[in-house]
Amino acid sequence: MRSFRFVLSLLGIGVVALLSMSSAPALAEAAAVRSFQSAVGDYYREEFRAHPILATLVGVHDHDAEVDDLSQEGHALEAARLHKALDAFSAIDPATLSQSDRDDREVLISDINARLLDVDTIRNWRKDPGVYTQSATSAIFALVHRDFAPLADRLRSVIARERQIPAMLANGRANIEHPPLAFVEIAIRNISGSINLLKRGVPAAFASVQDDRLKQDLAAANDAAIAAFESYKSYLEELKPKADGVFALGPELFAKRAAYSEMVDIPPDRLLEIAHAQLDKDKNALSAAAHEIDAPQPVEAVLKQVRAQHPTADALIGTASDDLAGLRAFVQDHRIATIPSDLLPEVEETPEFRRATTAAALDSPGALETHATQAFYYVTPPDTGLSAEKRKEYLEAYFFAGLKMISSHEVWPGHFMQYLARRAHPEWSLARKMAHAYSTTEGWAHYAEQMMVEEGLGNGDPKLKLAQLQMALMRDCRFVAAIELHTKGKSVDDAAEIFMKQCGSPEPEARREAYRGARDPGYMNYTLGKLQILKLREDYRAKRGDKFSLMEFHDRLLGAGLPPIKIIRREMLGEDGPTL
């Protein structure tokens, strides 16, 4: 198994070669490269040591038996570590680096500032009880779901981590103060999935292991972990009536978070103007698409008619799977982007512990994973406890044309293409492999939906255009709701109303979206990132003139990795400029 130490050793190859140069400028440049790469290596070595769960998820398996220190002291150590890393990168003179290293340094500094803002100022570890259940669940799921090592070895790591779950959840009880009601409710909705993972998923995953001692150890550790989760669930229920905290960041923190995380330095009020303008534009386009389908009917009636055409709950996963072959063929035949691999994702139901805020998602291997290369495309089925009427209403969100658009977003040519692009570029620096800007990641996938329809997917079927615009409206509403929830004092109920009235979302979908916005102020980044990519495409077209190729543009964009669009724009156009 390749370890992170092996990755670090790769970083030294270029240094040795550079040091063999005899000129003083070359030696100085080599020293600068070595200093920067050493700082990058130190940062990620410490990062994975401090965050063993992240290490497992990204494919570094030196810490698979460990978990993060979620105590108050652990968060203090985390802040100190990040400040030290920030000082180290800030001390490196960017003028001594290559352009790619300068860009990587800028991305790292911005990302560390964002994380310090979270740890020191926003402090969700003090407000969100779901931080602790999510960490404990991810610690186990990362070991169960990916086949990166022999089953018995992964079982030993599961046992070791499960033995630490009671302490992880105890840290939650000790740390949480004045949580917002929305955070508590989300944690309650998700925790049953975590318990079911331990009750059913873990024993089933390791049923074939023959070592009786390991099975006994698993049974004991699993029982203790389940008991800890059950106790934490009772704690959450007791906490709910007392939840009096505020989830809103406020304008200043919201702006800082966007500037650090996405390198978007635009005031929230201006972002809100952009969001409303895009919402109005897409609503008008949706009305035109609805008119093509059934001119005499109002938009709401046409939407209801189209959304009524959906798979059954039993056929949901199969329908999603069946769409993928046609989407892949369209990408290839229409020269949308180069498909660099024959790998395909597996389509599965969303794990239960993720269902409260997830309609569909791509779960791809981590940036440094070399063994477990399988990606999973998750689709969330309706809750078995829903009434027949609520189940039908829920499934309307997965109407046939809409599900095809969801699959475009998650798989072809959306997130799965981003994963294939990363695999196709082993030469990327460690910092570039680990870069993961929200607006770039989700912006591309959202852009992909629109671009595929523009390029002829569905042969002009207005239902597909309607579905694409309906999804665009959903992301526009996220853009609006995120800003209004976190800077304008809007409640979860207010946000749900935005989704129902402005986007035509069914009530269950609208509430799920509103809850997500309370916990995730960055979910505005879908539309924000798409708009940045559309502007970059037009500016790149203007630069290339007759030489412009959509396929070449997409290949270059995907080939730049997932840093903020500001960085990709600089690398593609050769200069900085406004991203919107």
pLDDT in tens, 89-109: 999 999 999 999 999 999 999
Q: What is the mean pLDDT of the chain?
A: 93
Q: Are residues 175 and 113 in the same domain?
A: no
Mean pLDDT of 314-323: 97
What tens digit of pLDDT does each residue of 418-433 get?
999 999 999 999 999 9
* Separation between Cα atoms, residue 349 and residue 487, nearest integer Å: 35
pLDDT band at 356 (very low <50, low <70, confident <90, very high): low
Q: How many CA atoms lie within 13 A of 168 on its CB side?
A: 28
Q: Are 471 and 407 in contact (CB under 8 A)?
A: no
Alpha carbon of residue 558 to chain centroid:
16
The edge-to-edge listing of strands for the beta sheet with 376-379 is 346-349, 376-379, 360-363
pLDDT of residue 354: 72
Q: Are residues 118 and 166 in the same domain?
A: no
pLDDT of residue 59: 97
Cα angle value 174/178/182 (rounded, 5°): 110
Mean pLDDT of 285-302: 94
Please count the residues of the chain.
Answer: 580
Percent of all residues in the chain with a pLDDT value above 90, rounded to a whole number: 88
Cα angle value 81/83/89 (rounded, 5°): 105
23 pLDDT above the threshold of 70: no
Q: Are residues 160 and 238 in the same domain?
A: yes
What tens digit of pLDDT does each residue of 472-489 get?
999 999 999 999 999 999
**Position 545 in a domain:** no
Q: Are residues 505 and 434 in the same domain?
A: yes
Mean pLDDT of 70-87: 98
pLDDT of residue 93: 94
Residue 100 CB partners (closer than 8 Å, separation 6+) = 429, 432, 571
**Position 269 in a domain:** yes
pLDDT band at 32 (very low <50, low <70, confident <90, very high): low
In DSSP terms, 360 is beta-bridged to: 379
pLDDT band at 413 (very low <50, low <70, confident <90, very high): very high
Q: Are residues 174 and 215 in the same domain?
A: yes
pLDDT of residue 218: 98
Mean pLDDT of 244-258: 98
* Separation between Cα atoms, residue 206 and residue 221, nearest integer Å: 14
- Single out the residue in 60, 92, 122 at which a domain terminates: 122
* Separation between Cα atoms, residue 22 and residue 345, nearest integer Å: 49
Q: Are residues 86 and 179 in the same domain?
A: no
pLDDT band at 4 (very low <50, low <70, confident <90, very high): very low
Strands 346-349 and 376-379: parallel
**Position 559 in a domain:** no
- Single out the residue in 214, 242, 270 at which a domain terminates: 242
**Position 322 in a domain:** yes
Q: Are residues 223 and 305 in the same domain?
A: no
pLDDT of residue 338: 98
Q: Are residues 306 and 422 in the same domain?
A: yes
16 pLDDT above the threshold of 70: no
* Separation between Cα atoms, residue 356 and residue 568, nearest integer Å: 33
pLDDT band at 12 (very low <50, low <70, confident <90, very high): very low
Residue 242 CB-density burial (10 A; 0-12 exposed, 13-18 middle, 19+ buried):
exposed
DSSP tag of 355? G
- Single out the residue in 242, 276, 308 at which a domain terminates: 242
Q: Are 488 and 466 in contact (CB under 8 A)?
A: no
Q: What is the number of structural domains in the chain?
A: 3
pLDDT of residue 19: 34
* Separation between Cα atoms, residue 527 and residue 3, nearest integer Å: 37
Q: Are residues 107 and 236 in the same domain?
A: no
pLDDT of residue 9: 37
Q: Which residue has the higher pLDDT, 12 or 126?
A: 126
DSSP tag of 330? H
Mean pLDDT of 450-459: 96
pLDDT band at 509 (very low <50, low <70, confident <90, very high): confident
Mean pLDDT of 199-228: 96
Residue 101 CB-density burial (10 A; 0-12 exposed, 13-18 middle, 19+ buried):
buried
**Position 555 in a domain:** no
Taking CA atoms, 219 is separated from 152, 162, 223, 397, 415, in Å, by 14, 10, 6, 40, 37
Q: Are residues 394 and 493 in the same domain?
A: yes
pTM: 0.91
Cite the beta strand spans of 228-381 per DSSP E: 346-349, 360-363, 376-379
14 pLDDT above the threshold of 80: no
35 pLDDT above the threshold of 90: no
Residue at token pair 């800890």: 228
- Domain that includes residue 56, residue range: 4-122
Mean pLDDT of 355-369: 89
44 pLDDT above the threshold of 90: yes
Q: Are 375 and 343 in contact (CB under 8 A)?
A: yes
**Pair of tokens at residue 146:** 């990916």
Q: Are 141 and 351 in contact (CB under 8 A)?
A: yes
Q: Are 538 and 577 in contact (CB under 8 A)?
A: no
Residue at token pair 């996963």: 317
Mean pLDDT of 340-353: 91
22 pLDDT above the threshold of 90: no
**Position 580 in a domain:** no
pLDDT of residue 499: 94
Q: Are residues 200 and 322 in the same domain?
A: no
Q: Are residues 329 and 385 in the same domain?
A: yes
**Position 389 in a domain:** yes
pLDDT of residue 18: 34
- The span from the first CA to the last CA of the chain, in angstroms, equals 44
pLDDT band at 316 (very low <50, low <70, confident <90, very high): very high
Residue 11 CB partners (closer than 8 Å, separation 6+) = 37, 40, 41, 430
What DSSP letter does each residue of 567-578 carry, written as one string? Answer: HHHHHHHSS---
What DSSP letter does each residue of 127-172 carry, written as one string? Answer: H-THHHHHHHHHHHHHHHS--SS-HHHHHHHHHHHHTTHHHHHHHH
**Position 574 in a domain:** no
Mean pLDDT of 438-447: 98
Q: How many CA atoms lie within 13 A of 440 on its CB side?
A: 24
Mean pLDDT of 290-296: 94
20 pLDDT above the threshold of 50: no
